[in-house]
Structure 1
Amino acid sequence: MVVYHELTAGKMKNRFIFSFFAFLLGAMLELSSGCFGQAVRAKPAKRYNILFISSDDLNNDIGCFGNPLVQTPHIDRLAQRGVLFSRAYSQFPLCGPSRASLLTGRRPDVTGVYDLKTNFRTNLPDVVTLPQLFKNNNYFSARVGKIFHYGVPNEIGTDGMDDPVSWHKVINPKGRDKAEERLLTNLTPGHGLGAAFAYLAADGTDDEQTDGMIANEAVKLLEEKKDEPFFLAVGFFRPHCPYVAPKKYFDLYPLDKIPLAREVANDLDDVPKAAIFTNPPHYGLDEDKRRQAQRAYYASITFMDAQVGKLLDALDRLKLSEHTIIVFWSDHGYNLGQHGQWQKFSLFENSAKAPLLISVPGGLKGRQSARTVELLDIYPTIAELCGLPASGTQGKSLVQLLRRPSAKWDRPAFSQIQKGKITGRSVRTERWRYTEWDEGRSGTELYDERNDPEEFTNLASANRYRNRVAELSGLLKKGTR
C-alpha cells in the first residue's frame, strides 16, 4: 500500500491497465486449470484424496447394476454420487494377474503374471504402481486388507503378496471368520477352501468379521489423516469363498427365492473344451446345493456392502466427500452357474465383466456409461484427475466418459487366461465377444451380445460371420499385448 501511494498518476494508470489484463489472464487460467476442470482459486485448491475400494470376486449382481434381488444399498448410494461403468472388463479373470495388471497399468503379457504365485516385480522391478505414484507425490499411502494378491482364506491376516514400496502403512486384520473355519459347511469337500462352495452363516456382529475390522481400521485412518492428502486402499475379502457373513445377511435371502441361472439343452455342444473350467457342470451338485452356494454368495455381497456404507458415512461425517475421489472395483466377475460354470477363470461374460464405479467431487452424479472399458483404464484415469503422470501405462483415461458418459469411444476390452499350455484371448466390443483358444487351434467363439447376452449360440463357424470373425481376430492380435 505504501508503494502504491508513492506512484505518480501516470504510473498509477499503467499499473491499473497492467493489473486489469493480469486479472483477465488469471481468470482464464482459473477456468482451464485444476483437477477435473475445476477452477483454481486464489489459494491453491486442496488436492483430491483417493478412497480406493475393492471387493474380491464380486460380479455385477448388484442393485445398481440391474439385479433386483441382491441388496446393496450403499454401493447403490455410491452410484448416485458418480458414474457407473456397466461394461468394464478384467484383463485376466483371476485374482493375482488381474490385480497386477490393474495396479501397474500394464497388460498381463507385460507383467508376466499368469498365476497366483508370480510377483510382478520379477518382470517389472522398477514399475511404479498406482498407490506408489501417489506415495511418491507426497500423499499418505495406506492399505487395509487385500489390494495386491492374497491367498484366501489362508493368507488372511498376513501381507500376502503385497508390494511394500507402494505404502507408508499397511494393516492386515484377521477376524472370527478365519478362526471359525471348522464351522464351515463345504458342499465340495474335494476342493480347498479357496475354491470350495463352503459357507457359514456366522454368529456375532459385523465388527468381528475380517471385513468389518477392515472397514473400522480404514475409518480410523480417515480420522487420523483427514487434514492431509491420502491414497487409502481398502480391500474387502468378500464375497470371495468361503462365503462367510453374519446370519442376518443370510436371512435376507430365503433359499426358495434364489433364482438359478437359465440353462438350455445342449448349451455346451458348440463351446470349445478349452473354454470349460467347471467340469462336470456345476461340479455335479444338485439344485438345492447350488442354491445354498448362491445364497451364501449373495449374503456375502450384502455384508460387504454394509462395510462400504461405513466408509461413505465416515467421509460425510469428516467432511471429506467434497474433495475425495472414490473408486469402487472388483478384480473380475464371477460365474454362478451360467453354462454350468462357477467362479472365475473363464472368458464368458459373467466372469470377465467386473463392477466399476468412479465418483469425482463436482462431477456427474447418478450417471451410467455403457462404453466398453477395462480395469486397466483405472490407473491413467486417477492419475489424470489428480494431475500426475501415468507414463508407460497401457490403458486409456476415462476422464472424458466421466464428463460425458456417452462420448464417442472406439476402444474394445481385452481379456485372457492361461490354462496349462493353452492361452485363451477374448475381445469385447459393445456388441460382440470373440475368443480364440491357442490362437484358434483349440477353438473359437463368437457371441452377439446384443441379441444373445447369455451367450448361448456360438456363431464363430457360421459362414455369414466370416468377415466379422476376421475383423475381430485382427483386433485381438493387436490388442492383448
Structure 2
Amino acid sequence: IGTSGHDDPYSWNQTFNPRGRDVDDESKIFSLRKGQFGGTLSWLAADGTDEEQTDGIAASIAIERLEKHSQAGTPFFLAVGLYRPHTPYVAPRKYFQMYPTKAISVPTVPKGYFDTLPKGARDTLLRKKDQVNLPDKLAREAIQAYYASITFADAQIGRILAALKRTGLEKNTVVLFTSDHGYHMGEHGHYQKTTLFENADRVPLLIAGPGVTAAGKTHYGPVEMVDFYRTLGELCGLEVPGTVSGLSLAAALRDPDVRIRKSALTQYSNGYSLRTDRYRYTEWGQDGAGGAELYDRTKDPGEMVNLAGTIAVKATQAELSKMLRQRVALALEKPKGLMQVRFSNRRRVR
C-alpha cells in the first residue's frame, strides 16, 4: 500500500498509489501471526470514515479523474485497484456491525476428507498450519471481517459508479468489474487462496456499458480472464493485435445464451484444472502423475466428492484429461509475431 508494488510503469501515463490510515493503524490489527498481515488471517474494525481508508482515497481519486475526463471529452482507460477484501481485513467499524458473528455459519469438512485428495491438493489446503481447524469463535470473527471488507469495497465501487452516472460518462464508457482470484473462508477446511478448487479459481465478472444489450442477464458458460483484452477492444471499436490471446465475450454481452468457450483453464503450483459447464477436472504433476480430481458439479457444487479413478466416470475422465492437456499445450504456445521489449534500452528482442 502506498507504493507501485508489482506495477508496470510503462503501461500508464499517470499512476496513483494512495496510502490511508489503515497503514498507520497496523499496530491495532489482530493477526494469527503477530506482525504479519498480507499472507495470514488478520483484521481490524477501524475507526474513522471510508474516505480515510486507502480504498476510500483510491475511489476519491478515481472520481476526480472521471470528472476531469468528462470535461475534456477525450478517450481514457482508468484502472482502479482496490486493496480490500485482501488481508488484513480492515474496514470502518460500521461494516463489521452489519454481520453479527452469531449469525455466521462456519463451513466444516467430514472426518477423513483430506485423505480422499491427491497430495498436491492436500498440500495446498493444509500448508498454512495455523489456519487449519480454527476455533469456532475465531473463524466467525474472520468471516465477519471478510464480509465487512467486501461491503466496504462495494461501497467504494458504488461511489465511483455514481460519479460515472453524474458526469454523464456512463453513456459511452465500458465498465468491467473483476478480481484477481477467488477465496476460501473455511470451505474445504481452508482459508484464503492458492488452491485449484472453485472457491479460489472463480472470480466475479460484471460488464456494463455501450454494446452490452443483455444488461442484467447472466452468461453461465465458462470464460477466462485472458478474454478481457479482446472483449474491451471490440466493445471500444479498437483493433486488437493478432498476438493477443483469448476470445472476445462481446457476443455473449448481446445474447447471454451464446457459447463462447467449452472450458476454462486454471494453473497453480504443479497442477492444472479444467472447468466445464458440468465438471471440474484437475491433474497434479507431469501428465497427472501426482493424481487427479474429478467433480460433478451438478450433483456436488461444493466439490467435496472426488470421483477420479472410479469406474463410473472412467470414460468422462479420459475425455476431460485429453481436453485438459490440449488446453495446456495451447496455452504454452507463443503467439506468432510476438516480440519482447527490453525497456531498459528499448531494444527489441525476438
TM-score strictly above 0.5? yes
Partner of 2:299: 451
1:262 offset after TM fit, Å?
4.3
Residue by residue over 1:431-452, the C-alpha shift from the partner in whole angstroms, topping out at 9 and shown as x without a partner, is 0011000022111000001110
Q: 1:190 to 1:467 in 2, by over 3 A?
A: farther
Counterpart selection for 1:344 from 154, 178, 193: 193
Partner of 2:2: 157
**Match of 1:405, as an amino acid?**
P
SS of corresponding position for 2:15: strand
Cα RMSD, aligned residues only: 1.4
1:281 offset after TM fit, Å?
8.2
SS of corresponding position for 1:436: strand
Partner of 2:341: none
1:192 offset after TM fit, Å?
2.8
1:465 offset after TM fit, Å?
1.1
Asked if the contact 2:222–2:262 (Cα under 8 Å) also holds between the matched residues in 1, the reply is yes
The separation in 2 between residues aligned to 1:282 and 1:312, in whole angstroms, is 36
Partner of 1:235: 81
Asked if the contact 1:184–1:200 (Cα under 8 Å) also holds between the matched residues in 2, the reply is yes
Asked if the contact 1:184–1:199 (Cα under 8 Å) also holds between the matched residues in 2, the reply is yes
Q: Which runs of 4+ in 1 moved over 3 A?
A: none
SS of corresponding position for 1:263: coil
Partner of 1:415: 266
**Match of 1:366, as an amino acid?**
G
Counterpart selection for 1:208 from 28, 52, 61: 52
Partner of 2:234: 384
Structure of greater relative contact order (alpha carbons < 8 Å, 6+ residues apart): 1
The separation in 1 between residues aligned to 2:37 and 2:93, in whole angstroms, is 20
The residue correspondences of 1:303-342 to structure 2 (distance < 5 A) are 303-342=152-191
Q: Percent identity?
A: 45
Partner of 1:140: none
The separation in 2 between residues aligned to 1:190 and 1:391, in whole angstroms, is 49
Q: Flag structure 2 segments of 5+ consecutive residues without an equivalent.
A: 332-350
Partner of 1:195: 39
Counterpart selection for 1:403 from 254, 257, 269: 254
The residue correspondences of 1:37-48 to structure 2 (distance < 5 A) are none
Asked if the contact 2:279–2:294 (Cα under 8 Å) also holds between the matched residues in 1, the reply is yes
The separation in 1 between residues aligned to 2:247 and 2:130, in whole angstroms, is 37
Partner of 2:345: none
1:410 offset after TM fit, Å?
4.1
Q: TM-score, normalised by structure 1?
A: 0.65
Query: Residue 295 in 1 paired to residue 144 in 2?
Result: yes
Asked if the contact 2:46–2:92 (Cα under 8 Å) also holds between the matched residues in 1, the reply is yes
SS of corresponding position for 2:82: strand
The separation in 2 between residues aligned to 1:331 and 1:215, in whole angstroms, is 18
The separation in 2 between residues aligned to 1:361 and 1:408, in whole angstroms, is 21
Residue by residue over 1:88-113, the C-alpha shift from the partner in whole angstroms, topping out at 9 and shown as x without a partner, is xxxxxxxxxxxxxxxxxxxxxxxxxx
The separation in 2 between residues aligned to 1:234 and 1:273, in whole angstroms, is 38
Query: Residue 466 in 1 paired to residue 314 in 2?
Result: yes
Q: What is the total number of aligned residue pairs between the two structures?
A: 321
The separation in 2 between residues aligned to 1:430 and 1:191, in whole angstroms, is 42
1:390 offset after TM fit, Å?
3.8
Counterpart selection for 1:259 from 91, 95, 105: 105
The separation in 1 between residues aligned to 2:308 and 2:54, in whole angstroms, is 45
The separation in 2 between residues aligned to 1:185 and 1:408, in whole angstroms, is 46
SS of corresponding position for 1:411: coil
Query: Residue 271 in 1 paired to residue 117 in 2?
Result: yes
Asked if the contact 2:262–2:277 (Cα under 8 Å) also holds between the matched residues in 1, the reply is no
Asked if the contact 2:215–2:253 (Cα under 8 Å) also holds between the matched residues in 1, the reply is no
Q: 1:341 to 1:269 in 2, by over 3 A?
A: same
Residue by residue over 1:44-85, the C-alpha shift from the partner in whole angstroms, topping out at 9 and shown as x without a partner, is xxxxxxxxxxxxxxxxxxxxxxxxxxxxxxxxxxxxxxxxxx
Partner of 1:105: none
SS of corresponding position for 1:477: helix
Partner of 1:175: 20
**Match of 1:171, as an amino acid?**
F
SS of corresponding position for 1:199: strand
Asked if the contact 2:176–2:206 (Cα under 8 Å) also holds between the matched residues in 1, the reply is yes
Partner of 1:428: 275
1:378 offset after TM fit, Å?
0.8
SS of corresponding position for 2:152: helix
Q: 1:288 to 1:367 in 2, by over 3 A?
A: same
1:234 offset after TM fit, Å?
0.4
Partner of 1:245: 91
SS of corresponding position for 1:302: helix
The separation in 2 between residues aligned to 1:300 and 1:193, in whole angstroms, is 14
The separation in 1 between residues aligned to 2:153 and 2:4, in whole angstroms, is 21
SS of corresponding position for 2:174: strand
Asked if the contact 1:372–1:412 (Cα under 8 Å) also holds between the matched residues in 2, the reply is yes
Asked if the contact 2:182–2:193 (Cα under 8 Å) also holds between the matched residues in 1, the reply is yes
Asked if the contact 2:170–2:209 (Cα under 8 Å) also holds between the matched residues in 1, the reply is no
1:377 offset after TM fit, Å?
0.8
Q: Larger radius of gyration, structure 1 or 2?
A: 1
Asked if the contact 2:214–2:256 (Cα under 8 Å) also holds between the matched residues in 1, the reply is no
The separation in 1 between residues aligned to 2:248 and 2:86, in whole angstroms, is 29
Asked if the contact 1:281–1:341 (Cα under 8 Å) also holds between the matched residues in 2, the reply is no
The residue correspondences of 1:343-382 to structure 2 (distance < 5 A) are 343-361=192-210, 363-382=213-232
Asked if the contact 1:282–1:337 (Cα under 8 Å) also holds between the matched residues in 2, the reply is no
